[in-house]
Structures are given as structure tokens and as C-alpha cells.
Chains A and B, each alone.
Chain A
Amino acid sequence: MSKKDNAHKTYHRNKTVTVMFLCVLIFMILIGRLVYLMVFQSEYYTQKAKELHERERTIKAARGRIIDANGEILADNRTVCTISVIHNQIEDAEEVIRVLSKELELSEEYVRKRVEKYSSIEKIKSNVDKSVGDIIRNYELAGVKVDEDYKRYYPYDSLASKVLGFTGGDNQGIIGLEVIYEEYLQGEPGTILTVTDAKGVEVSEAGEERIEPINGRDLYISLDMNIQSYATQLAIQTMETKQAESVSIIVMNPQNGELMAMVNVPEFDLNNPYTLPEGSVEGEVSEEKRQELLNAMWRNGCINDTYEPGSTFKIVTAAASLEEGVVTLQDSFSCPGYIMVGDRRIRCHKVSGHGAEDFVQATMNSCNPVFVTLGLRLGVDNYYKYFEQFGLLSKTGIDLPGEAGTIMHKKENIGQVELATISFGQSFQITPIQLAVTAASIVNGGRRVTPHFGVRAAYADGSGSQSFTYQIKENIVSKETSETMRYILEQVVENGGGKNAYIEGYRIGGKTATSQTLPRNSGKYIASFLGFAPADNPTVLAICIIKHPQGTYYGGQIAAPVIKELFENILPYLDKMDYNNKSGKNYNESHVGTEEN
């Protein structure tokens, strides 16, 4: 071996070593890259990969029930099933098609199309009765999936429909209490996390991670199913006999604002809230028009609509005047059948006039000129002050969605004529619930309560109970004024325009109203009556509003009898409830009607 050859080999060797180290260098760079990816970027990619591998299936939480004052369930859940097929797990397609079309009463082509469609999961039918779902499950067909689900169910169909409201496809509240108490009712859905391969097939060895759902809390409300049903019957009856457009009845406890009933007929079927009443649409209607009709059907007139209260509002004028001291019970007036305000002549409903009368008699007669006089005595500033003090300018804060505000003149726009008309309940608009609450505050000793249904929420096992508290504004009128008002309004029922609401053996106070709807020459009226009992210490207050009756339209003649009939039935019932309650029989934690509460 020559030296030259060795020299040759030396640089060959050096170069081979160079190549080796070059390779090692590149490997080091790649290891650096790996460290970056697997240490510093690991969290990011792990998360991404997890999202890719895990299929999340939600387990619906059962929505909380809505339970009335007697423990009666007004909104419940029914277990329904969703039937679907997983294409690549089906073994005997013909058998699957045969069974599903038979049990689900679907056409064979319909089922075949879905079974033969190549997709990961194909829904055949949802909202299937649990019994049918169980039958299908018992066939144990490969590739057929029966998933249980909850559907809202209202055992009394249309009872208190506009109060309770209903839920949508995702079990979320759409209107009514279902919306307001969504956070309590809805609960938290659970999840099933399963690992799947790229085709979406579950990898069984990987197991599944399950997070149990937390069911929603039950909502206990002050509404009394018995009172509500009875009021509904009365309202329907009245609407039919008077051929009225609608009839609303509110029954509340004036002491604490708990609502016992809120009826707006026509009601709608909560189990089919998207079905318009028969005959309301002719032929095909546009989607927009249909939605409009649905919204009208779902509307809760007691809180969503405003109206001119008319004579029932004289309660407010009277209370303000007494409070301000511009009138006493003994003040005497003379009604010629009209009163001149500026250059305007405002007529009394009795064209011939009431003649000489004292203040109590004027109220019994519902004499417009007297109340105009009181309004003028108060003056714009004072009247507006009381309007505000009574809470008429703000909303009542009822626990239902979409409460309408008061439509009132701006203070600077109120002249003598406006003041005069406001005094007997015209030229402005309030909601029925606003009137009921204001009247309640005036007769309950001057405490403005917040009307409400929600009493408390608790889980089905009784845990997590949360009682709702509502604001009470004290001293909106003095106790004396309140007492005087109770006396006057009892006189109205005993001897005055409200005598049709008189019930032997009960002390009832109230006020009638008949107001013409705008435009004034339409010949359409709203008849109403507001009553409370017992007159000396009211525990129940009710208002009945009949919109656009045919024929007789005087509140004293058509609305007062409704409240009378209502009271005739519910007063003994409430007494009994009260008795039960006092005797320690705990029929319900959220009872109605006692002052102690």
C-alpha cells in the first residue's frame, strides 16, 4: 500500500466523517423541531386532536316542572323517543325497513330512503311515544338507535296558556313563565364523550366519559289551578254570551301581589302552540302573516296590552284627592249632567245629571263632573305627583315577559281638559295588571306590591330551594285614606253602580267601568269591574275586563256579575284554604290569602 494511496484514504475518511457529522447536525435540528412540537406545542395539538377524536353527545336535562299553589303540576315532561338509523351498522336492511315502517306508521318508501342513505346517522322520526320506542328497542335491530328525550307536556292543555307559556325545540322557553324562569327551569345538559375513529365509528375500548345532566328546578307558583279553571270557565261563558272579542280576569292577593289566576280567553293549546284556531285563517297564508297571527294568539292581554281604564280609575283620583285633603266624605256636590272645563263641555254618563250628592254618593254614581272637579282641585302638579307616587308611570315588574308601559301625556302637555279626562280614566292607557296593582295598593293600606306568580324554585328532591322576594313600596297612601277608600268602594257594591257584585254574607268592595274604545264613534266598548273582598281587610282582588261586547256594554251590568259569580265560588274556597292553613295542615308551602304572609 503506497503512501499516496494512504493520503487518498485520509481525505476520503475526513469527508466521510464530515458527511456523518452533517447528518448528525441535521438530525439535531429535526430533534429540535420535535421538541418544539411535542413539548411546547403539545397542549395545542393535544386539544385539537381531542376535539377531532371525541364525539360529544349531549344528554338533555329534564326541564323543571311548574307546580301550582296546591301542588298540581301544570307543566311536566314526557319522555319521548327519537328513532334513527346508523347506515354502516345495519345488518338486515329489509327487516329494519319493515319494522320501522310498521311500528312508526310510516310509508315504506319513506323509511327505505332513509335506511339506504349513506350517512353516519339518519333520523327517522322524533317525538315518538316512549311505549313505541320501547317496542322498537325490543326488536334489538342492529343499526337502529332509540334515543330518549324529554318533551314539555301541559296536562291541562290550554289552562293559563298565556301565563305558563311553552317551550321550543330545544326545550327553551318561548313565552310566559317558561321564559322568565328559564335559568331555574332549564337545568344543565350532560354530555357523553365517546372516542370515534375517522369514520365516526365509536371505539368501544376507549370507553366513554359521562357527565350527568342536572335537571332543572321545579317552579312553584302562586297560581291556583282551581281558581284559574273556574275563572276561565266564567270568562269563556261571558265571551260567548256577550259575543265579546276577549275576556280577561285577574285574581290576586292584594296584600302580597301573589297572582291566583290570570285568564285571557281565548286561550290556546299549550301542547300545540303553533296551531292556529280553526277558521282564523282561510287558505294559504304567508309565513309572516302566520307568525303575526300566532303572536296575536299568544298575547297576554292583561300585561301586553294597554287600554283606557275608564271609571275604575276614579279609585286613583279619589285616593289622591283624599290624601291631598281636597275632598272629604261629607263634601257635597251638584251634578247638572255636565261640567264646563275651559270652553269644553264634559258630559256625565247620566245626561239628566245626578243632582245633589255627597262624595260617597258621587263615587257610587260614578259621577264624572264630581271627579273632574276633584282633578281640577288637585291641579296638574299634584295629580302628576300622585300618578307617579302610585307607581302608574313605571311598570309593575310582574314576572312575565313583555309588560307594556303606561301611555301618558307628558306633564307639560297636560292642560285643564286633559286633567279633567284623566280624572275619570280617559285619554291615557295602562295595562289591566297596572290597574289591579294600583287598586290593590290603595285598598291594602298603601303598600304597592309587585304582582307575581313565582314563589320559589327547588329541585325535585327538595334541595336547592330558593324563594323569590319582591319589592314592596310602603306608604303610597296613608292608612286612613286606604281605610276610607275601602269604605267608599264597599258602598259602591252595596248600594251603588257595583251592586251586581254584591254577595250576601260577604263584604265586597269594587268599582265598575265602561269605556269607549278609540275612535270614539266606533261604538265599541270595554266593560270592566274591579272587586275585592273582604272589604275591611281584602285578601283577594279581582278584575274582569270584557272587550267589545255586543249588546249591553255597561261594566256594572255585564262585568260585575262575573266577579260576583267568581267570588261566590272562590271566597268559601279561600276561607277553607285559610282554615286548613291555620289549623296547621300544611297543604302547601306557598298558600294564598293570609295576611301573615
Chain B
Amino acid sequence: MSERVLSRRKTNSIANYMDYSLLFIVIFLLGFGLVMVYSTSSYEANLSFDGDSAWYFRKQLGATILGVAVMMVVANIPYHFWERFAVLGYVVSVIMILLIIPFGHESHGAKRWLRIFGISIQPAEIAKLGMILFLASMICTMGKKIRNRKGFYTVLAVPVPIALMLWKITSNMSSAIIVMGIAVLMLFVSCPDYKRFILLGLLTIVGAALIVFIIVKMAESGADDLNFRGARILAWLDPEAYASGKGFQTLQGLYAIGSGGILGKGLGASKQKLGFIPEAQNDMIFSIICEELGLFGAIAVILMFIMLIWRFMIIANNAPDLFGALLVVGVLGHIAIQVILNIAVVTNTIPNTGISLPFISYGGTSVMFLLIEIGLVLSVARGIRLKDL
């Protein structure tokens, strides 16, 4: 009892603790992102919006400022406050995704957006946040039950409906992968077992290899009914053979990356952003970073993300309780998977799938939700007692 009082007092004494390292990294990434959004979009914006070269930049700046404000608010709310919305979050995610079927707003050939009060929102972003919250709460409630097989599979089953809906309804495979990835990572951290995860990892790799193999065989045998994703895999294997179709974006990205060289062409000097890479400020922004800032710039950006993940790890490992730790792990999973997938896609390491680079790519909803997640992490960090550090 006295210990609790003491701890509370201690908590109070460091009530203003802020993980400034994390905050600095995030703000640096946001600032860098804004610079890159302006660099990549100004030429096209100038043409599309009658000379207004800062059009995308201004929108992104607005979303960022709003996001940072929201982040600060969330950071100041004790994270346990959100635990009560865990189930609601899951339900809302499902409803939002389902709402896309009748009310979805189409853009770039895919129905992924909902328009609410004039703002476009991607339900996928809500689903990711909802999943982190729901699983953290659920795993805490389960306690030791998670260690047995039933518990394991229950947790693994939770994200499946959401992931399937994201994949099938919004044809957004990357978000589905992220939702599943977040769940697996949270499960991995909360479960002492290793074997199952190694098995799961191997199964995923074998499955992916098998799919690639089948598609290549089908293409060789001349089956021309290969769907959208089949063609993507073929274009991944040989982008130059599909230069005018599915391989176009990838190839243009490779031109940008390759022509950047070690030191890059200099900030603002990209040629590929002049319409060769369509909407370079979106998913392909990393290729322009490579072109303008070279290998050094690219590695610097990756190092920033590694530092971000390192901060997440420190905060997770020092979180006052399991719920907080799991929230941070969920956010870590989300951001790490998204960065890895984005860079892997841009460098043609994996088949092309639409995925943005956190904090840097243009996109209001994405930045908003990412900053809410950072707010949560900061809120968890506030609960850290200094003696634990």
C-alpha cells in the first residue's frame, strides 16, 4: 500500500516527463516529409492548380499541424482512458469498412475513402488503430490464457475478419497485411513461445514462394487470364518487360533511385518527379528522396526510422504495465511494417502494392492517425518511472 502511494507520488513528481527523443524524431520526420512533399509535388501542382506550386504542401502542412495538436492532446490523456473503447473501436472499424460498399469514395481506381463532413477518411487507418487498442486490451484481459493453444489461435483469429474485409472490400492488400502483422507482433511479444512464430514465419514464406511459383508457371504456359495481382508479380520479376503496364511505376522508381547515385542530384533537382513518376509525393516519395539526396540521404532516413523503432522499444520495455507496453508494440509494428513494405516496394524488393511511407508521404488521414498513435506512445512514456530507466 505504502509502495503504491510512493509510486503514485513518484509518478506525480514526473508528471511532465516527455520522451523528447521520440518527439524530436517524429517532428524531424514530419519536417523532412513536408520538405519532400513540396519538392516532389510542386512541379505537378504548378501545372494542375494554375501556378499554385504549394497546393499539396499547404494541405499537408494543415494536416500536420492539426495532427501535432491532436497528438499533444492524446499524449496528455492517460492511455488507460482508451481501454474502455477497445471493443467499440473494433466494431466501428468493421462498420466503417462496410460503409465503403455503399458510400465509398473512389479515387485512383480504388474505393478506399469515406467522406465525412467534407474530409476524406480511410477506414483502413481507423482499423489499424482500432486493432492495436483492441488486441492490447484483449491480451491483458486474457492474462495467462494466451499461453495455451486456444488463446494463441483466438488472438490470431481476431484480426482476420478485418484484414479480409480490407483486402476484399477496399482491395487494399497492404493494409490487410499491416493489420495482420500488427496482430502477430503483439501476439509474439505477449506470448513466451517462439516455435509457433518461427513455424508461422516459415509457412508465410513458403506460401508466398508457392504463389509466385504458380503464377510464373501459369505465365509460362501462356495463361492470359492472370488477374491484377498475378501481373504484378510478373512485373516485379521483370519490370522492364512490363515497362508500359504494371512495371511502369516500379521502373520509373528504379530510374529515380539508380540515377541518384551515392550523393544524389541535390534537393529539388529530381527529374523523375516531372511527371515521370505519377504523384511522386505519394507512395513513391522514397524514390525521389533517393534521387535527390542519394544513398546517404536514403540511409539517413532509414536510420531515423530505426531510431524511432528503438525509442518505441525503450518505451515498451519500460511501460508501467502490459497494456501500455502492448500499445507501444502495436504502434511499433504498424510503423515498422509500413516503412519496410514501402521501401521494399519502391526498391522492387517485393511486388508492388500501394503503401505510403509514414510521416513523409503526402496524405492527411495517414499523418493524423500516425500522430494519434505517437500521442498514445507519448502517453505511455509519461507513465515511466525514472528508476526504471
Chain A positions within 8 Å of B, measured between CB atoms, are: 8-9, 11-13, 15-20, 23-24, 26-27, 29-31, 33-35, 37-39, 41-42, 44-46, 48-50, 52-53, 195-199, 203
Could you name 20 residue pairs across A and B whose Cβ atoms are closer than 8 Å? A12-B189, A12-B316, A15-B189, A16-B325, A17-B313, A19-B188, A19-B333, A20-B332, A27-B302, A31-B298, A33-B344, A34-B290, A37-B290, A39-B261, A42-B258, A45-B258, A46-B259, A49-B256, A197-B43, A198-B275
Question: CB-CB < 8 A to A20: which residues of B?
Answer: 309-310, 312-313, 332
Contact B258 A37 (CB under 8 A): yes
Docked pose: A50 CA to B261 CA in angstroms:
13
User: With A19-B189, A19-B313, A42-B261 known to touch, is A49 a contact of B255 (CB < 8 Å)?
Assistant: yes
Chain A nearest Cβ from B324, distance in angstroms: 11
Contact B257 A31 (CB under 8 A): no
Question: CB-CB < 8 A to B312: which residues of A?
Answer: 20
The answer, yes or no, to whether B91 is at the interface (CB within 8 Å) is: no
Contact of A38 among B189, B295, B309, B349 (CB under 8 A): B295
Chain B nearest Cβ from A24, distance in angstroms: 6
Would you list the 6 A-B pairs with minimal beta carbon distance, nearest first?
Answer: A45-B258, A198-B275, A197-B274, A49-B259, A49-B255, A46-B259
Docked pose: A12 CA to B321 CA in angstroms:
11
User: With A19-B188, A38-B295, A39-B295 known to touch, is A45 a contact of B302 (CB < 8 Å)?
Assistant: no
The answer, yes or no, to whether B267 is at the interface (CB within 8 Å) is: no
Docked pose: A132 CA to B93 CA in angstroms:
70
B313 nearest CB neighbor, chain A only: A20
The answer, yes or no, to whether B262 is at the interface (CB within 8 Å) is: yes
Contact of B255 among A18, A33, A45, A199 (CB under 8 A): A45
The answer, yes or no, to whether B208 is at the interface (CB within 8 Å) is: no
Question: CB-CB < 8 A to B347: which residues of A?
Answer: 30, 33-34, 37
Contact A48 B255 (CB under 8 A): yes
Question: CB-CB < 8 A to B340: which residues of A?
Answer: 23, 26-27, 30
Question: CB-CB < 8 A to A48: which residues of B?
Answer: 255, 258-259
Docked pose: A101 CA to B215 CA in angstroms:
57
Chain A nearest Cβ from B372, distance in angstroms: 21
Contact of B257 among A12, A38, A196, A198 (CB under 8 A): A38
Contact of B276 among A8, A41, A52 (CB under 8 A): A52
Contact A15 B255 (CB under 8 A): no
The answer, yes or no, to whether B294 is at the interface (CB within 8 Å) is: yes
The answer, yes or no, to whether B329 is at the interface (CB within 8 Å) is: yes
Question: CB-CB < 8 A to A9: which residues of B?
Answer: 317
Contact B317 A23 (CB under 8 A): no
Chain A nearest Cβ from B353, distance in angstroms: 16
Question: CB-CB < 8 A to A45: which residues of B?
Answer: 254-255, 257-259
The answer, yes or no, to whether B271 is at the interface (CB within 8 Å) is: yes
B298 nearest CB neighbor, chain A only: A34
The answer, yes or no, to whether B322 is at the interface (CB within 8 Å) is: yes
Question: CB-CB < 8 A to B261: which residues of A?
Answer: 38-39, 42, 46
Interface of A is mostly: helix
Docked pose: A44 CA to B272 CA in angstroms:
15
Chain B nearest Cβ from A109, distance in angstroms: 31
Chain A nearest Cβ from B364, distance in angstroms: 26
Docked pose: A45 CA to B129 CA in angstroms:
39
Contact of A23 among B188, B260, B336 (CB under 8 A): B336
Question: CB-CB < 8 A to A35: which residues of B?
Answer: 295
A50 nearest CB neighbor, chain B only: B259
B329 nearest CB neighbor, chain A only: A16
Contact of A199 among B258, B275, B294, B305 (CB under 8 A): B275
Contact B313 A16 (CB under 8 A): yes
CB proximity to A under 8 Å, residues B69-104: none
The answer, yes or no, to whether B222 is at the interface (CB within 8 Å) is: no
Chain B nearest Cβ from A7, distance in angstroms: 9
Docked pose: A456 CA to B340 CA in angstroms:
70
Interface of B is mostly: helix
User: With A38-B257, A49-B258 known to touch, is A31 a contact of B302 (CB < 8 Å)?
Assistant: yes
User: Known contacts A12-B317, A12-B322, A18-B188; can you find 4 more A-B pairs with CB under 8 A?
Assistant: A19-B189, A33-B344, A38-B295, A49-B256
Question: CB-CB < 8 A to B203: which residues of A?
Answer: none
CB proximity to A under 8 Å, residues B328-358: 329, 332-333, 336, 340, 343-344, 347, 349
B356-377 CB mask vs A (1 if < 8 Å, else 0) is 0000000000000000000000
Contact B317 A49 (CB under 8 A): no
A47 nearest CB neighbor, chain B only: B259
Docked pose: A198 CA to B192 CA in angstroms:
54
Q: Which of B310, B322, B332, B349 has the most CB of A within 10 A?
A: B349
Question: CB-CB < 8 A to B317: which residues of A?
Answer: 9, 12-13, 16-17
The answer, yes or no, to whether B157 is at the interface (CB within 8 Å) is: no
Question: CB-CB < 8 A to B276: which residues of A?
Answer: 52-53, 197-198
Chain B nearest Cβ from A127, distance in angstroms: 34
Chain B nearest Cβ from A55, distance in angstroms: 12
User: With A16-B329, A33-B349, A34-B290 known to touch, is A23 a contact of B309 (CB < 8 Å)?
Assistant: yes
Question: CB-CB < 8 A to A26: which residues of B?
Answer: 340
Question: CB-CB < 8 A to B294: which residues of A?
Answer: 38
B190 nearest CB neighbor, chain A only: A12
The answer, yes or no, to whether B205 is at the interface (CB within 8 Å) is: no
Contact of B260 among A17, A27, A38 (CB under 8 A): A38
Question: CB-CB < 8 A to A18: which residues of B?
Answer: 188
Docked pose: A35 CA to B260 CA in angstroms:
11
Contact A11 B343 (CB under 8 A): no
CB proximity to A under 8 Å, residues B148-199: 185, 188-190, 192
Docked pose: A24 CA to B347 CA in angstroms:
17
User: With A8-B322, A19-B333, A37-B257 known to touch, is A49 a contact of B262 (CB < 8 Å)?
Assistant: no
Question: CB-CB < 8 A to B271: which residues of A?
Answer: 49, 53, 195
Question: CB-CB < 8 A to A46: which residues of B?
Answer: 258-259, 261
Chain A nearest Cβ from B367, distance in angstroms: 21
Question: CB-CB < 8 A to A39: which residues of B?
Answer: 261-262, 295
A19 nearest CB neighbor, chain B only: B185
Contact A19 B329 (CB under 8 A): yes
CB proximity to A under 8 Å, residues B271-288: 271-272, 274-276
Contact B305 A27 (CB under 8 A): yes
Question: CB-CB < 8 A to A34: which residues of B?
Answer: 257, 290, 295, 298-299, 347
Q: Which of A35, A37, A203 has the most CB of B within 10 A?
A: A37
Docked pose: A247 CA to B299 CA in angstroms:
82
Question: CB-CB < 8 A to A37: which residues of B?
Answer: 254, 257-258, 290, 347
Contact B349 A30 (CB under 8 A): yes
Chain A nearest Cβ from B343, distance in angstroms: 5
Docked pose: A38 CA to B302 CA in angstroms:
15
Docked pose: A491 CA to B349 CA in angstroms:
95
Q: Which of B259, B271, B274, B302 has the most CB of A within 10 A?
A: B259
